[in-house]
Structure 1
Amino acid sequence: MFDWLQNFADWLIYSVFNIGAETHLGTALNFFVFDTIKILILLFIIVFIMGIVNAYFPIEKLKDYLNRKKLYGLEYFFSSVFGAMTPFCSCSSVPLFIGFVQGGIPLGVIFSFLITSPLVNEVAVAMFIGMFGLKPTLIYVVSGILLGTFGGWLLGKFQLEHLLSDWAKKILENKMQHQEYQEEKLTFSQRLPEITHSAWDIVKNVLLYVIIGIAIGAAMHGYVPENFFNTYLGGGQWWTVPLAVILAVPMYANAAGIVPVIQVFVAKGVPLGTAIAFMMATVGLSIPEATLLKKVLSLKLIAIFFGVVTLFIILSGYLFNVLL
Structure 2
Amino acid sequence: MVNTILNIITACWDILLESSLFILFGFSIAGLLKAFIPNDFIQKHLGKGKMSSVFKASLFGVPIPLCSCGVIPAAAGLREQGASKGATASFLISTPETGVDSIAVTYALLDPVMTVIRPVAGFFTAFITGIGVNWLDKAPPVPESPKPMPFTMAASPSSCGCGCGAEKKEKKSIGMKLKEGMGFAFGNLLEDIGPWLLVGIGLAGVITVYISPHFIESYLGDGLFSMLIMIALSTPLYVCATASTPIAAALALKGLSPGAALVFLLAGPATNMATITVVSKLLGKKTMVIYLSAIVICSLMMGLLVNQIYGFLGFDITAWVQSQTHEHHGPVAILAAVTLLLLILKPLVKRLVVKSTHKGCSHC
For Structure 1 versus Structure 2, the TM-score category normalised by the shorter chain is 0.7 to 0.9
Alpha-carbon spacing, 1:180–1:173, altered in 2? closer, same or farther (3 Å): closer
Q: Does the 8 A contact of 1:119 with 1:283 survive in 2?
A: yes
Q: Does the 8 A contact of 2:30 with 2:65 survive in 1?
A: no
Query: 1:175-211 deviations in whole A, cap 9, x for unaligned?
Result: 3255899964434223111122112112233222222
**Which amino acid letter does the alignment assign opposite residue 49 of structure 1?**
I
Name the SS for the 2:277 alignment partner: helix
CA distance in 2, matches of 1:174, 1:183: 20
Q: Which residue of 1 aligns with 2:272?
A: 286
Deviation larger for 99-108 or 30-39: 30-39
Alpha-carbon spacing, 1:243–1:38, altered in 2? closer, same or farther (3 Å): closer
Q: Which residue of 2 aligns with 1:102?
A: 80
Alpha-carbon spacing, 1:229–1:160, altered in 2? closer, same or farther (3 Å): farther
Deviation larger for 109-118 or 182-191: 182-191
Asked if 1:299 is matched to 2:279, the reply is no
Q: Which residue of 2 aligns with 1:65?
A: 45
TM-aligned CA deviation for residue 26 of structure 1: 5.4
Q: Does the 8 A contact of 2:66 with 2:95 survive in 1?
A: yes
Alpha-carbon spacing, 1:61–1:175, altered in 2? closer, same or farther (3 Å): same
Alpha-carbon spacing, 1:27–1:188, altered in 2? closer, same or farther (3 Å): same
CA distance in 2, matches of 1:131, 1:81: 24
Alpha-carbon spacing, 1:193–1:178, altered in 2? closer, same or farther (3 Å): closer
1:265-284 equivalences under 5 Å are: 265-284=251-270
Q: Which residue of 2 aligns with 1:155?
A: 133
Q: Which residue of 1 aligns with 2:196?
A: 209
Scaled by the length of structure 2, the TM-score of the pair is 0.72
Q: Does the 8 A contact of 1:259 with 1:279 survive in 2?
A: yes
| Number of residue pairs matched by the alignment | 292
Asked if 1:118 is matched to 2:96, the reply is yes
Q: 2:29 aligns with which of 49, 55, 70?
A: 49
Name the SS for the 1:295 alignment partner: helix
1:192-271 equivalences under 5 Å are: 192-201=178-187, 202-234=189-221, 236-271=222-257
TM-aligned CA deviation for residue 256 of structure 1: 3.4
**Which amino acid letter does the alignment assign opposite residue 129 of structure 1?**
Y
TM-aligned CA deviation for residue 298 of structure 1: 2.4
Asked if 1:87 is matched to 2:87, the reply is no
**Which amino acid letter does the alignment assign opposite residue 208 of structure 1?**
P
CA distance in 1, matches of 2:113, 2:169: 36
Alpha-carbon spacing, 1:46–1:123, altered in 2? closer, same or farther (3 Å): closer
Q: Which residue of 2 aligns with 1:188?
A: 174
Q: Does the 8 A contact of 2:7 with 2:209 survive in 1?
A: yes
Q: Does the 8 A contact of 2:77 with 2:150 survive in 1?
A: no
Alpha-carbon spacing, 1:313–1:180, altered in 2? closer, same or farther (3 Å): closer
TM-aligned CA deviation for residue 59 of structure 1: 4.1
- Which ranges in structure 1 are unaligned for 5 or more consecutive residues? 1-18, 163-168
Deviation larger for 271-280 or 30-39: 30-39
Query: 1:152-172 deviations in whole A, cap 9, x for unaligned?
Result: 12222224326xxxxxx7xx2
Q: Does the 8 A contact of 2:245 with 2:265 survive in 1?
A: yes
Alpha-carbon spacing, 1:216–1:111, altered in 2? closer, same or farther (3 Å): same
Aligned residues: percent identity?
A: 20
Q: Which residue of 2 aligns with 1:176?
A: 146
CA distance in 2, matches of 1:146, 1:195: 29
Q: Does the 8 A contact of 1:77 with 1:146 survive in 2?
A: no
TM-aligned CA deviation for residue 147 of structure 1: 1.7
Deviation larger for 312-321 or 290-299: 290-299
